[in-house]
Structure 1
Amino acid sequence: MIEVEKKTIQLFLLFSVAHTALFIILPFTFAEFNDRVNWFAINAIPWWPLYKLNLPVTRQGWLMMPNVAGWIWCAVVWIAFYYFVARGTVVLLGRRDQ
């Protein structure tokens, strides 16, 4: 059981680093502002249903980006998503090895 948790955490960290590299750091290397905004906006995908439902966590400013609570919501959703993907991958690969 401890080995499964260790592998899950390692895979979760790998997913988190990949997400950070692709959607937070990489956009700063683009010359076009629109390209930067489009790539960076991928981080806000979990916020989009809240915006469409007109929930309190709505847009802020002219870029129509989430406010602070919206970004916290996005972070929680991405963390949960990557944890469950990592956990499922470890469990499925563990079953295959048996």
Structure 2
Amino acid sequence: MTEKTLYLASPYGFSLQQREGPLKELVAALEALGADVWEPFTRNNQPEMLAQPGWAYRVGQNDMRDVRDAAGFFGVVNGCPPDEGVMVELGMAVA
């Protein structure tokens, strides 16, 4: 584990428009602060996994491993209600 690894939990990876807009900008801002950002949509090829059988289990296992192994956690908690996946990842980080 590198001391500056940061797991980024966000709802911005589900569409190309969000990946190329707010997600890309957020990753760049965190990297400018010196963090090695672990962004799960990119890190674990999640957009490609979503069409495969058993994708939810694999995504969950990969995310759980990365949340556990990262030195820090940054979650985008916006919306009403906030994104359920981000909330699950936040719960894993706290546990």
TM-score by length of 2: 0.28
| Higher strand proportion (structure 1 or 2) | 2
Higher helix share: 1
Which one has a bigger Cα radius of gyration? 1
Q: Flag the structure with more relative contact order, 1 or 2, with Cα contacts below 8 A and sequence separation at least 6.
A: 2
